[in-house]
Amino acid sequence: MREYDWWLLLFAFAICGLGMVEIYSATHNSHLAGMHWRQLSWIGLGLLCMLVLSRVDYHQILDQSPVLYLIGIAALVLVLAVGRTRFGAKRWLPVLGAFLQVSELVKLIIIIVLARFFSEVRTEQLALAELVKAGFLVGLPLGLILLQPDLGTAMVLVPMALVGAFLAGLQWKHALAMIALGAMMLPIGWHFLKPYQKERVETFLRPEEDPKGSGYQILQSKIAVGAGGFWGKGLGQGSQNQGGFVPVRYSDFILAALAEELGFVGVFVTLLLYAGLLLRLVQNAQRASDRAGMYLVMGVAAVLGFHVLVNVAMVIGYMPVTGIPLPLMSYGGSATLFVYLSLGLVMNVRIRRFVN
Amino acid sequence: MWLGNDLKLPQTRLTIVSYIILGMIALLLVGFWKLQVIDSDRYTQLAERNRVRTIPLIAPRGRMLDREGRVLVDNYPSFSVLLLRDDAQQVERSLPQVAEGLGIPLEDLHKQLDESRGLPKFQPILIKPEASPADIAFIESHRADLQVLEMVMVHRRRYLPNGFMAHAAGYVGEVSPELLENSNGRYRPGDFEGKSGLERQYNDVLVGTDGLRRVLVNSIGKEVGRLDQKEAIPGKAIQLTIDYDLQVVAEQALTGRKGAVVALDPRTGDVLAMASHPAPDSNLFAVRIPREEWKRLNEDPDRPLLNRAIQAQLAPGSVFKIVMATAMLESKAIPESFSVYCSGVTDFYGRAFHCWEKRGHGLVTLHNAVVHSCDVFFYNVGKHLGIDRIAYYASQLGLGRKSGIDLPAEQTGLMPSEEWKERVFHQRWFPGETISVSVGQGAIVATPLQLARTIGGIAMGGIFRQPHLLLDAKKVGEERFSISEQTTEKVTQAMFGVVNEGGTAAGVRLQGIELCGKTGSAQVIGAEGLKRAGRQTRFKDNAWFVGYAPRRKPEIVVAVLVQEGEHGASAAAPVARDVIKAYYDKKSRRNQQQLTVEYKRYQVNPDAALAGFQALRKPVSRPLEANSAQTAH
């Protein structure tokens, strides 16, 4: 147990604690009251999973990556076929009496699969062929998730591949080519977006045109953040939060609620905790005993970092509404489980850092 | 084996990732700094506009019931049609269909939309205040495709049609700006309050308390949550002393005429009926009276808004002779046996005073003078009594001052005196004026209600109950002016004679009912005025009759005024007779029903046969008078 990264856990727990306080504050006088206790039970379950996952040597897990990949793809197909539709998207599969978001599980699997894939690259520079292979490896599940449709989660797979490729020796010319290709793909991809997704992007670009729809959400979020000021209005005192003006204030927009009630000071502390968490992850990667371990840890860092970036940027109106929760803070069972499972992978790598 | 990757970790690239993370966090913190520190004031203001909005839940006004619980004034739910303007494009698209479906000219809708351009977008505009069933059906059936339409329910006042009891009930209207200002927020613009009659008198009872619903609206006015709700407390119903059946008779009798009917129960002061014609249809006021209509009502020379029962101040004519008779007997200034020879005209202070009967009444005593309404007799009585003594008794008997009825704007009437003339005109009282006043002409004026109260009170032996319309009035005032038994007996006998001994109102005699009363035909303007007005304009006399029954301790007294009715006996007396007859018809029916009920109880419960029989015996003795009333047809 001494080998666990207690600093990392401390950051995680602090963030979870802030999240629980804010979930309580946002929901205690509504029909959702008591949500923070449910969140706590998810955290407990997540810790248990983390413990179990950290015990199994990650090399053994990596050994199973082809199988895991197939399971992941099968689950995604299954969810499209028989999944529960909630909030307009097929994302949930009934597992153990609860509904789990399959894409959260798939994120974990892709971290493992990519770690295995990149650790097999034995050159200092990443060859184009390998890069294309990685692209296909990620492209298949990404396409399936897009079909649900869940643009947010699908997007998360991209930074995983990018960070992996970067560490595997991505060449600058390839990077530039990818950026160019991406820019060209944008107008084509636009046609495949669902109307509501287009609307979100449009309102992000011109929020004043539609203050009622998704532009409304961003506007309300910004009002809450701005009204919080430097010191905040105090817990349970945020009129935007308590009045229910902040959209999904216990989940995707929880940071807006926190920003209103705890002010810039609270946000500063929160973001520092995230910075600490992410830097600690990179440190663990740097101390990994082999490249496979590093890729695992950095995969986790990529996912969490991307989540933080996209969610926080959305709260302050720097990005469109994508439905990506803030890891460890937002209410949500599947997401919480995923974060603790991925931390389990990190612990796994850390425990075995002196093996070779 | 794939594990055999012997490459070193890319430490440099990992460090680069660390810096990217730090840069990202720093960037986000800058974003928060901008919002929370630099632009904080602006967003605080925006947050202020996300507010709690209270939506009033309008309490329905209390109903008005008659003394038997029948509904006289009621409410009905009315729907107003609102046009939601949130989505300008949708509004524009739907407008032609809306115009056609609701029968509103398209230009009108466009005009209204233009006018409301300055209002917040989330605030709907009222395009139709009173939706017809067809409108409601139209909106309901187009819920899906015409989402710009919405309906709200309000309570509107419903009065009986054709101005039934319009003056007593009064009407409601939107609160005045002054009241709005002085009400400390109790009233809001657009609220209704009682403007006249009982609606105004008992406004505080009738209004109830509006409830409210507090909802949270965001900065663009969209409802985002409900905080709490306080239910509206409906206004209390008031039960009136009015008897619907008698009111119907009174209203029907006045249809097409100008005048008033007041029926009182002198024992209690209950107003059994109160009608005034012409009458406005109060339903006109219940929504929002068009300006032209309001103007027309106010400028109508027939003054339909005047409640003649309490506001018409007219010369009482010969009805005043009852006051004169009472004053003569009570003051003892003149002996009971006083008699006068009436030749049809007499002379006082160098001026001729005519009796209405040009042939003269011959030798008349008090009794005959009342029965045949001899003017000459009362000229002489007046001359002997003097104006101050007349004024004293008239005032004690209720003339020249308010009766205290629970209605706003009751008029006082006027009982002239020397002091009055000195005070108002700075002139001396001419003795000749006393002669005119003695027969209810000249400066003396009274309202129908005052006359009903006065005659009823005299017949009660000097007990004057305060007239009131609220059935369970807590404190009913009572004035006593002691009138001796002999006086009461003599005066009531005389009034009995008016109807039953071939007097002026002999035509309205009723079998089995001691109908008594006094006729009056009062000149509208003096003889000289009539001359000046010339022959083109005819000023017909006002017809009066105040009748009551039975002769002593009356149960009902009815004052009838028919303006320009000329003769009290022919125009006014039949109205009073009909009301009183309706009263007795009802009474006998009620007594018979009581009999039937007792009989049934006796049958159903044979065990209590004996007790039931004894109970039965009591009511049997009562319907006797009712039986006689029944044969009265």
CATH of the domain at B163: 3.90.1310.10
Whether chain B has a CB inside 8 Å of the CB on A271: the answer is yes
Beta carbons of B18 and A124 less than 8 Å apart = no
The shortest C-alpha distance from B95 to chain A (Å) reads 22
Same domain, B592 and B570: no
By the 8 A CB rule, do A327 and A317 touch? no
Same domain, B354 and B455: yes
Q: Is pLDDT of B316 > 80? A: yes
Give one DSSP letter per residue of B410-443, joined into a string. ----B---HHHHHHHH--PPPHHHHHHHHTT-TT
Q: Per-residue pLDDT tens for B166-177?
A: 999 998 887 776
Nearest partner of B320 among B416, B224, B455, judged by Cα: B455
Q: Is pLDDT of A90 > 90? A: no
Residue A94 makes CB contacts below 8 A (sequence gap 6+) with A84, A100
Q: Is pLDDT of B606 > 60? A: no
Distance from C-alpha of B204 to C-alpha of B235, rounded to nearest angstrom: 8
Q: Quick one: pLDDT at residue A35? A: 86
CB-defined contacts A:B, below 8 A: 149
Q: Quick one: pLDDT at residue B297? A: 84
What tokens were used for A255?
Answer: 């940071």
Same domain, B211 and B234: yes
What tokens were used for B390?
Answer: 């007349």
CA dist list (Å): B67 to A243, B247, B472: 52, 11, 10
Q: Is pLDDT of B614 > 50? A: no
Whether chain A has a CB inside 8 Å of the CB on B39: the answer is yes
Same domain, B547 and B594: no
**Secondary structure string (H, E, C) spanning B165-184:** CHHHHCCEEECCHHHHHHCC
Q: Quick one: pLDDT at residue B52? A: 60
Same domain, B605 and B554: no
Instruction: Name the more confident of B191 and B429.
Output: B429
Whether chain B has a CB inside 8 Å of the CB on A267: the answer is yes
Same domain, B345 and B491: yes
The shortest C-alpha distance from B11 to chain A (Å) reads 6
Residue B8 makes CB contacts below 8 A (sequence gap 6+) with none
Write down the H helix ranges in chain A.
6-27, 35-55, 58-63, 65-82, 102-119, 128-147, 151-167, 172-192, 195-205, 214-228, 239-242, 254-286, 291-315, 333-351
Which among B570, B587, B604 is the end of a domain?
Answer: B587
Find residues 40-69 of chain A whose CB sits inside 8 Å of chain B.
59
Whether chain B has a CB inside 8 Å of the CB on A163: the answer is yes
pLDDT grade for B438, boundaries at 50, 70 and 90: very high
Instruction: Name the more confident of B59 and A139.
Output: A139
Stretch A230-240: mean pLDDT, rounded?
83
Instruction: Name the more confident of B619 and B35.
Output: B35
Indicate the helix (H) or strand (E) that contains B46: helix B40-49
Express as a percent the part of chain A with pLDDT over 70: 87
Instruction: Name the more confident of A81 and A283.
Output: A283
Q: Per-residue pLDDT tens for B134-177?
A: 888 888 787 667 767 777 777 888 899 888 999 999 988 877 76
Domain annotation covers residue B15: no
Return the SS3 of A163.
helix
Whether chain B has a CB inside 8 Å of the CB on A3: the answer is no
Q: Quick one: pLDDT at residue B535? A: 47
Beta carbons of B42 and A224 less than 8 Å apart = no
Q: Quick one: pLDDT at residue B622? A: 38
Same domain, B226 and B366: no
Indicate the helix (H) or strand (E) that contains A88: none
What tokens were used for B590?
Answer: 């009620």
Q: Quick one: pLDDT at residue B604? A: 47
Domain annotation covers residue B255: no
Domain annotation covers residue B6: no
Range of the domain at B438: 307-587
Which chain A residues contact residue B17 at CB under 8 A? 163, 166-167, 282, 298, 301
Which chain B residues contact residue A268 at CB under 8 A? 29, 32
Nearest partner of B226 among B215, B242, B234, B217, judged by Cα: B215
User: Which contacts qualify for A43-52: CB closer than 8 Å, 24 or more apart?
Assistant: A43/A16, A43/A336, A43/A340, A45/A337, A46/A336, A46/A337, A46/A339, A46/A340, A46/A341, A47/A340, A49/A337, A49/A340, A49/A341, A49/A344, A50/A340, A50/A341, A50/A343, A50/A344, A50/A347, A51/A344, A52/A344
Domain count, chain B: 3
Return the SS3 of B133.
helix
Compute how many other C-beta atoms are within 10 angstroms of the C-beta atom of residue A168.
Answer: 26
Q: Quick one: pLDDT at residue A285? A: 94
What tokens were used for A154?
Answer: 């699908």
Q: Is pLDDT of B289 > 80? A: no
The shortest C-alpha distance from B24 to chain A (Å) reads 7
- Gyration radius from chain B CA atoms: 37
Beta carbons of A119 and B5 less than 8 Å apart = yes
Domain annotation covers residue B18: no
Distance from C-alpha of B521 to C-alpha of B566, rounded to nearest angstrom: 6
Return the SS3 of B189.
coil
Which chain B residues contact residue A263 at CB under 8 A? 36
Q: Is pLDDT of B579 > 90? A: yes
CA-based nearest residue in chain B for residue A117: B2
By the 8 A CB rule, do A239 and A249 touch? no
Which among B220, B239, B258 is the end of a domain?
Answer: B239
Q: Is pLDDT of B608 > 50? A: no
Residue A286, strand partner residues? none
Residue B341, strand partner residues? B363
pLDDT grade for B625, boundaries at 50, 70 and 90: very low
Beta carbons of B225 and A244 less than 8 Å apart = yes
Domain annotation covers residue B175: yes
Distance from C-alpha of B394 to C-alpha of B321, rounded to nearest angstrom: 10
pLDDT grade for A239, boundaries at 50, 70 and 90: confident
| Lowest-pLDDT range of A90-94, A237-241, A279-283, B401-405 | A90-94
Stretch B580-608: mean pLDDT, rounded?
71
Whether chain A has a CB inside 8 Å of the CB on B218: the answer is yes
Indicate the helix (H) or strand (E) that contains B285: helix B283-286
Q: Is pLDDT of A280 > 90? A: yes
Q: Per-residue pLDDT tens for B205-261?
A: 898 877 777 666 655 556 666 767 778 888 899 999 999 999 999 999 998 889 999
By the 8 A CB rule, do A265 and A346 touch? no
Beta carbons of A216 and B36 less than 8 Å apart = no
Which among B192, B207, B239 is the end of a domain?
Answer: B239
Beta carbons of B3 and A59 less than 8 Å apart = yes
Same domain, B439 and B501: yes
Indicate the helix (H) or strand (E) that contains B611: helix B609-621
Q: Per-residue pLDDT tens for B392-432?
A: 999 999 999 999 999 998 999 999 999 999 999 899 998 88
Q: Quick one: pLDDT at residue B185? A: 59
Beta carbons of B17 and A163 less than 8 Å apart = yes
Residue A276 makes CB contacts below 8 A (sequence gap 6+) with A7, A11
Beta carbons of B32 and A301 less than 8 Å apart = no
Of A239, A259, A285, the CB nearest to B14: A285
Domain annotation covers residue B25: no
| DSSP category for residue B36 | I
CA-based nearest residue in chain B for residue A315: B32
Indicate the helix (H) or strand (E) that contains B74: strand B71-83
Distance from C-alpha of B268 to C-alpha of B587, rounded to nearest angstrom: 17
Whether chain A has a CB inside 8 Å of the CB on B23: the answer is no
Residue B216, strand partner residues? B52, B225
A99 phi and psi angles, rounded to 5 deg: -105, 120
Q: Is pLDDT of B22 > 50? A: yes
Q: Quick one: pLDDT at residue B27? A: 95
Distance from C-alpha of B462 to C-alpha of B459, rounded to nearest angstrom: 7
| Lowest-pLDDT range of A204-213, B196-205, B275-284 | A204-213
Q: HSE on the CB side for A285, CA within 13 Å? A: 32
Which chain B residues contact residue A122 at CB under 8 A? 5, 7
Residue B208 makes CB contacts below 8 A (sequence gap 6+) with B59, B60, B61, B62, B232, B233, B234, B235, B236
Find residues 272-311 of chain A whose CB sits inside 8 Å of chain B.
272, 274-275, 278-279, 282, 285-286, 288, 290-292, 294, 298, 301, 305, 308-309
> For residues B613, B614, B619 and B624, what is the CA-based torsion angle, rounded to 10 degrees?
80
Which chain A residues contact residue B38 at CB under 8 A? none
Q: Quick one: pLDDT at residue A29? A: 64
By the 8 A CB rule, do A280 and A8 touch? yes
pLDDT grade for A321, boundaries at 50, 70 and 90: confident
Q: Is pLDDT of B60 > 90? A: no
| Averaged pLDDT of chain B | 83
Distance from C-alpha of A51 to C-alpha of A9, rounded to nearest angstrom: 12
The shortest C-alpha distance from B49 to chain A (Å) reads 10
| Lowest-pLDDT range of B202-211, B418-427, B500-509, B589-598 | B589-598
Give one DSSP letter per residue of B140-169, joined into a string. HHTTTT-TTEEEEEEEEEEE-TTTTTHHHH
Of A122, A169, A220, the CB nearest to B5: A122
Of A120, A223, A312, the CB nearest to B2: A120
Beta strands B238-239 and B64-65: pairing type? parallel
pLDDT grade for B385, boundaries at 50, 70 and 90: very high
Of A245, A259, A286, the CB nearest to B36: A259
Q: Quick one: pLDDT at residue A85? A: 64
Residue that is written with structure tokens 């009170």 in the block: B457
Same domain, B107 and B157: yes
Task: Return the CATH number at B522.
Answer: 3.40.710.10
Return the SS3 of B463.
strand
Omega of the bond leading into B124 within 30 degrees of 0 (cis): no
Q: Quick one: pLDDT at residue B605? A: 47
CA dist list (Å): A320 to A225, A310, A326, B335, B524: 16, 9, 15, 109, 87
Distance from C-alpha of B354 to C-alpha of B29, rounded to nearest angstrom: 109
Beta carbons of A243 and B28 less than 8 Å apart = no
Q: Is pLDDT of A341 > 90? A: yes
Whether chain A has a CB inside 8 Å of the CB on B345: the answer is no
Stretch A191-196: mean pLDDT, rounded?
72
By the 8 A CB rule, do B301 and B359 touch? no
Same domain, B539 and B619: no
| Averaged pLDDT of chain A | 85
Instruction: Name the more confident of B534 and B362.
Output: B362
Whether chain A has a CB inside 8 Å of the CB on B220: the answer is yes
Stretch A289-301: mean pLDDT, rounded?
93
Domain annotation covers residue B115: yes
Same domain, B68 and B162: yes
Same domain, B468 and B601: no
Indicate the helix (H) or strand (E) that contains B70: none
Beta carbons of A264 and B37 less than 8 Å apart = yes
